[in-house]
Amino acid sequence: MKFAALGPAVLPLLAAWVLSSRAGTSRFRRAIAAAADGLALISAALLWNAGLARSGALDSDPFSLFLASSVLVALAFAAVTPQQDVESLCRLHLGASLSIAAVTTTDLVWSVPAILLFGMIVRHGRERLVGFLVPSLAALAGLALVAASGEDELGLILLTAGLSAVWLFVSRDVLRSFPSGLVTRMAASFALLVAVSSVLMRIAAWFPTSAPLGLIHALALGALALGALGGLGATRITTFLTALALARAGLVLFAFLGGVHGRGPLLLELAASGVSLLLVAAAAENVDTLDEVSTLASVPRRLVLTLGAFSACSFPPFPGFVAAFPLSSAVLDGGHAISLLIACALLFLLSLGSMRLVARAWDSGTSRTVDSTVGAAPVVLAVAALWILGVAPGRAVEAAMAAALSIF
C-alpha cells in the first residue's frame, strides 16, 4: 500500500518516458501512455477503497485522490484523442505528474514549486516570459514568508495572487500557442487549475482566519466576468476556449466564498469544468473560428460540442448544474447574496456565449463540408459525464463531499 500511494504521481512519469522514447510508432506510444494513465486511475481507485496511505510526502486521502483522479482522466483522455502531438503529450504527462504531486502533498514547500515547475514545462518558448516569472517570484516570496512566520497575511496574499496569475498566464500561453491539438492544451490548463485550486483550498482550510478571502472574492468575480464577456465577443476558437477556461476558474474560486460547506460543490464544479472544457476542445479540434463550426457535419461531434458548451455554464441538466444548489446555499450562508446575484448574471452571459457556438453547430441553413468525426473517446467521456455528473450524480456528490471533509 505504501508504494501504491506513489502510483497516481509516478505512472504519468512512466508514460512521459514512453512518449519521449523512439520505440514503436507514435500511435503505439500513445496507447502505452494511455494504459499507464488508466493504471494510475485504477491505483487511485484502489487507494480510495483501502483508506488512508502515505508514502514519503505523498498522501492518499480522499481529497488528494479526488483531484488526482480528475487530472488522470484528463491525461488519459488527451492520450487517446487522435491528432495530439506526441512531444506535447510528453510535456503534459511530465507536468501532470508534478500537478498530482502538488495535490497529494500536504507540504506547501513541495506543492508550490511543483506547480511553478509544471508551468515552466508546459509553456512553449521564451515569449512573454516576464508574465510568467513575475507571479512565480511573487508566489515564491509568499511561500518564503509563510514558511518563515507561519500565518503571515502578506505571504498568503502573495501566494494566492501569484499562483492565480501563474495559472492565468500559463493557460493563456498554452491555449494560444502550444504546438499541439486543443485537447492537450486544455488538459494542461485544467491540470494546472486543479493543482492551484488544491493549494488554495488547503490554505483556506489551514488558515481560516487569515486566508485572503477578499482577494479570492475579487479574483473569482473578475475571472467570471472576463470569461463571460470574452465568450460573448470571441471569434476565434482558442480565444473562446480561453474565455471558457477563465470563467470556469472564476466559478471554482467563487465556491471559496461558501467556506466549509462550499468545498464539496467546489470539487464537483472542478470536475465538471474539466469535462466541459475537454469536450469542447475535442469537438472544436481543427476548427479555427466560431463561424467554421457551422461547417461540421458529424452529429456526434456536434452533440459533444453542445454538451461541453452547456456544461461550461452549468446549464440544466448538464454536468455542474446540481452542484450549483449546495454551492449557492453555502455562499448565501456566508452572507454573499449580492455576489451570488452577480455570479448568476455572469453565468447567464456565459450561457449566451455558449449558445453562439451551439447555434452555429445546429444551423440548418449552411452546407456542411467537414465530415471528420470526433472519435470514440469524446463520445464515451460525454456519455459518462452526463450520467455520472448529470443524470445520476448521487455517487459523485458523495465522493466529493467525502473528499471535501478530508482536507488535511
Question: Which parts of 51-128 fold into alpha helices (H)?
Answer: 62-80, 86-104, 108-122
371 binds another protein, rule: CB under 8 A: no
Pattern 281-300, another protein, x by CB under 8 A:
-------------x------
Alpha-carbon span 110 to 104, nearest angstrom: 10
Q: Least distance (Å) from another protein to the CB of residue 72?
A: 24
Nearer to another protein, 245 or 346 (CB): 346
CB of 194 to another protein, least distance (A): 22
Alpha-carbon gap, residue 217 to 259, rounded angstroms: 12
Contact status, residue 207 vs residue 157, Cβ threshold 8 Å: no
Of the pair 87, 292, the CB lying nearest another protein is at: 292
Cβ atoms of 222 and 250 closer than 8 Å: yes
* Least distance CB 309 / another protein (angstroms): 11
Phi, then psi, of 31 in degrees rounded to 5? -65, -40
Phi and psi torsions of 3, nearest 5°: -75, -30
Could you please report the per-residue DSSP string of 287-324? --BTGGGGGB--HHHHHHHHHHHHHTTT-TTSTTTTTH
**Given 64, 69, 184, 328, the residue binding another protein (CB under 8 A):** 328
Question: Can residue 238 be called a binding residue for another protein (CB under 8 A)?
Answer: no
Of the pair 38, 326, the CB lying nearest another protein is at: 326
Candidates 356, 370, 373, 406; binder of another protein (CB under 8 A) is: 356
33 SS3 class: helix
CA distance 62 to 18: 29
Cell numbers placing 184: 492537450
The only residue of 141, 333, 373, 406 in contact with another protein, by rule CB under 8 A:
333
Q: Which residue, 133 or 397, is less far from another protein as judged by CB? A: 397
Among 321, 377, 378, 386, binds another protein (CB under 8 A): 321
| CA atoms of 347 and 341, how far apart (whole Å) | 10
- Strand positions, DSSP E, 204-327: none
Q: Is 280 in the site for another protein (CB under 8 A)?
A: no
Q: Quickly count: other Cβ atoms within 10 Å of residue 31's Cβ.
A: 15
CA distance 141 to 132: 14
Count of residues touching another protein (by CB under 8 A): 38
- Does the footprint of another protein cover residue 262 (CB under 8 A)? no
Asked whether position 317 contacts another protein by CB under 8 A, the answer is: yes
> Does the footprint of another protein cover residue 405 (CB under 8 A)?
no
Positions touching another protein (CB under 8 A) are 294, 306, 310, 315-318, 321-322, 324-326, 328-329, 332-333, 341, 344-345, 347-348, 351-352, 355-356, 358-360, 362-365, 392-394, 397-398, 401
